[in-house]
Amino acid sequence: MRSASRLRTVAAALLAVAAVAAPVRGAGMPSPERVAAALAVVYPALVNLTVVNEHFADGRALRGPGAGSGVIVSADGHVLTNYHVAGDATRITATLTSGEILDAEVVAHDPSTDLSVLRLRLEARDPEAPPLRPARFSERPLEVGDPVLAMGNPLTLSSSVTLGIVSNSERVFTDFLGNRLEDLDLGSGGPTGLFTRWIQHDALILPGNSGGPLVDLDGGIVGINELGGGGIGFAIPTSIAREVLAQALELGRIRRAWLGLSIGPVSRLGREDGALINSVVPGSPAEQAGVEPGDILLAVGETPVAVRFFPEVPALYLALSRLEIDAAVELAVERSGERLVLRATPGEMEEAVGRRGELRRLGITAQEVTGPMALGLQIPPRSGLLVTSLRAGFPAVGARPPVEHGDLITAVGERPVATLDELRAALEAATGDELLLALRRDEARLLSVVRLREPSSARWGGELPKAWLGVRTQVVTPELARAMGQPDLRGFRVTEVYPWTAAARGGLRIGDVIVAVAGEPVEASRAQDVENLRVAVERRSIGEQVAIEVARAGETVNLDIELEASPRTADEARTARQAELEFGVRDLTFLDRIDRHLDREQGGVIVTEVTAGGWAQMGGLESGDLIVAIDDTRLADVATFEETMRKVVDAQPEIVPVFVRRGWRTTYVFLEPEWAGLEPAAGVTP
């Protein structure tokens, strides 16, 4: 474990249970002889891992030492440990309990379970060295109250053992309100715990114990310790560890089936069978099969599904991950009281986060974009590299416009890039003192001139005027014009054309350079000319048909475009406050639909504020949520929200299901107010 801070410790969960998890000692604990016998079986397989970690910040790669534990599980020298111990390691050294030191290499990482499989480099051993003595997995079911030994290297104090009992053999973490499962985030591999019901125990766990074995009194491994604190520890059960090990040895990597849906328990819906589909990933096998949020999953193939409570959720995820990839499976779902049988073909699950690296020539660190990352960023997968940090004084910071944290580098010159290797190759192939980078920044498509000498920090951009042309632009500076191969070109290059606008209908395109408005040239060659296009448009009237002259692919094109009124802002949107449940909402605006990647027809209202301690907050509603439906009633706008809430207040149900969109995800929030004595509903603020 690299440091205590790397745990990001699910502190609330640990503190909540620490008071009732004090170590138990007394007549029920095993004799010293029994402990010694179990220890003798596993002790030779314990390894102390020291690693050199690599992480990326401030535009560069940074390295530092780390330590953890592991356990030998094969005669060929395979070692199980935690991913958060070995996942960022560029060098791994294993010290055996005999004092022998061996290098180790990675066989496979599995961030989603926080496990890694290593192999000791036995070829470097002394031929006279004794054979390894691997530990074995326990075959006995684990029960609450069973004594267990936690073995490892706490605080780098090698080959230590602590004694405790099993407090819970199927622990899951939920948010404080009990609305959703909480993933652990222990390192750079993304969240872990989707498939895991942890073994909770009270054997002392400290930083450095991570990856060490949890052992029963027969000397069998029952888990791999993951984290601890406040007198409580958690371990990954061997049912998961064995599966990861088997795939690593057979395939050299971990493969899992993926349908692309998230699930929740059904107890709050008053059901005893099925599982609630909370969200469906766009473009996923589940969506292609016709699965919809709100469906109740009844069966997978011939196997019925029953997920009443959160501890049953990981087991279903694990069962779905074991489906045969690319082999169709029937999913029985219930929708509006009707049973449907859908046919889905699972794909292969991608890693949550992409590979990171340093691009020293530019002075940046960047990350490859996986499918799950693309969903979170709301961009196409594998469409570029994400800029994760920049180094002061290096070319990317001084580019025109400057490269920024969060930009997506899509091309170097005319050469598309989507991987670190492709970007490095493109940079190596570039000649001269200037590079042209194609960037995606939100929905804008920018071209940035990177001067490999004499960096600058100039910026430019555009603002929306009262009379409005539905585009974003950048000034065509002399540097940019030269990089585009048109040194005499001046004007405003279109970086984004808003959909559903007169500009889009009139034929403006990304890459067009606006050179004149209504026959009057728009002067633009310096960063400070950024306001000139806004001023030229603002002189005209809303609704006026205006000639827009653009340079396109070396030709002059004239377009007639109607100037529109500037779209309504969030401050101008119609609002309402729901007094009984204590939250406010507003209508969607044009820019909401653009920024949130919504369809033009998407209905709903945006939560503007949630009162601390109110029923909405207690149910898990969050500011910024897009409420799509309440109690199965789809919302179009604030007016339908008010009408729906009036019916809810009149009916006063025990539970109000609220279907929300949060980023790209959808989920259900369950509000459970006590209606007696609540104040009357508030009105609408225009």
227 or 487, which is more confident: 487
Report the C-alpha gap between 329 and 414 in whole angstroms.
43
Specify which residues 49 forms β-bridges with: 68, 94
Say if 360 falls within a structural domain. no
| Whether residues 31 and 145 fall in one domain | yes
Say if 194 falls within a structural domain. yes
Structural domain including 60 reads: 43-124
Three-state secondary structure call for residue 400: strand
Host H or E run for residue 555: strand 555-562
Q: Give the active site residues.
A: 84, 114, 210
What's the pLDDT score for residue 461? Answer: 36
| Whether residues 153 and 38 fall in one domain | yes
Pairing verdict, β 101-110 and 60-72: unpaired
Host H or E run for residue 13: helix 11-18
CATH of the domain at 107: 2.40.10.10
Say if 354 falls within a structural domain. no
Average pLDDT over residues 465-494: 92
- Give the number of domains in the chain: 6
| Whether residues 495 and 602 fall in one domain | no
pLDDT tier, 52 (very low <50, low <70, confident <90, very high otherwise):
confident
Q: What is the mean pLDDT of the chain?
A: 89
In the predicted structure, residue 458 carries a pLDDT above the cut 80: no
| Whether residues 20 and 149 fall in one domain | yes
pLDDT tier, 454 (very low <50, low <70, confident <90, very high otherwise):
very low
10: amino acid identity, one letter: V
| Whether residues 673 and 581 fall in one domain | yes
Which tokens in the block code for residue 615? 């029923």
Say if 460 falls within a structural domain. no
Average pLDDT over residues 597-607: 95
Task: Give the pLDDT confidence of 614-659 residue by residue, as tens digits.
Answer: 889 989 999 999 999 999 999 999 999 999 999 999 999 999 999 9
Please report the beta strands in 346-478, taking only residues with DSSP state E, as ranges in sequence order: 347-348, 356-359, 364-368, 385-390, 408-412, 415-416, 434-441, 444-451, 467-468, 471-475
What's the pLDDT score for residue 179? Answer: 80
In the predicted structure, residue 684 carries a pLDDT above the cut 70: no
**Least reliable range by pLDDT among 104-113, 191-200, 324-333, 650-659:** 191-200
Report the C-alpha gap between 592 and 576 in whole angstroms.
17
223, 251, 279: which is the final residue of a domain?
251
Contact 20, 199 (CB under 8 A): no
CB within 8 Å of 345: residues ≥ 6 apart? 285, 288, 289, 326, 327, 328, 329
Contact 564, 542 (CB under 8 A): yes
Host H or E run for residue 250: helix 238-251
Other CB atoms within 10 Å distance of the CB of residue 272:
9
| Whether residues 246 and 261 fall in one domain | no
Say if 191 falls within a structural domain. yes
153: amino acid identity, one letter: N
**Least reliable range by pLDDT among 253-262, 335-344, 446-455, 501-510:** 446-455
Q: In Å, how far are 63, 87, 89, 423, 645 from 55, measured between CA atoms?
A: 6, 11, 9, 19, 49
Report the C-alpha gap between 145 and 186 in whole angstroms.
28
Please report the beta strands in 21-156, taking only residues with DSSP state E, as ranges in sequence order: 46-57, 60-72, 78-82, 89-96, 101-110, 115-120, 136-137, 147-152
In the predicted structure, residue 127 carries a pLDDT above the cut 70: yes
Write down the residue that tokens 């009916």 correspond to.
Answer: 651
In the predicted structure, residue 106 carries a pLDDT above the cut 60: yes
| Whether residues 612 and 665 fall in one domain | yes
Say if 363 falls within a structural domain. no
CB within 8 Å of 244: residues ≥ 6 apart? 80, 108, 110, 113, 115, 117, 254
CATH of the domain at 495: 2.30.42.10
| Whether residues 147 and 38 fall in one domain | yes
| Whether residues 23 and 170 fall in one domain | yes
The secondary structure of the chain in percent helix, strand, coil, rounded to multiples of 5, reads 20, 35, 45
Q: What is the CA radius of gyration of the chain?
A: 29
Report the C-alpha gap between 8 and 386 in whole angstroms.
24
Say if 361 falls within a structural domain. no
Report the C-alpha gap between 34 and 28 in whole angstroms.
13
Say if 113 falls within a structural domain. yes
For 617-657, the DSSP string reads: HHHT--TT-EEEEETTEEP-SHHHHHHHHHHHHHH--S-EE
251, 278, 296: which is the final residue of a domain?
251
172 or 333, which is more confident: 333
390, 424, 451: which is the final residue of a domain?
451
394: amino acid identity, one letter: F
| Whether residues 158 and 237 fall in one domain | yes
Average pLDDT over residues 173-195: 79
What's the pLDDT score for residue 88? Answer: 92
| Whether residues 482 and 512 fall in one domain | yes
User: 78-111 burial string, b = 16+ CB within 10 Å, else e?
Assistant: bbbbbbbbbbbbeebbbbbbeeeebebeebbbbb
DSSP structural state of residue 285: H
| Whether residues 147 and 243 fall in one domain | yes
* N-to-C CA span, the chain: 55
In the predicted structure, residue 210 carries a pLDDT above the cut 80: yes
Which tokens in the block code for residue 164? 């405790």
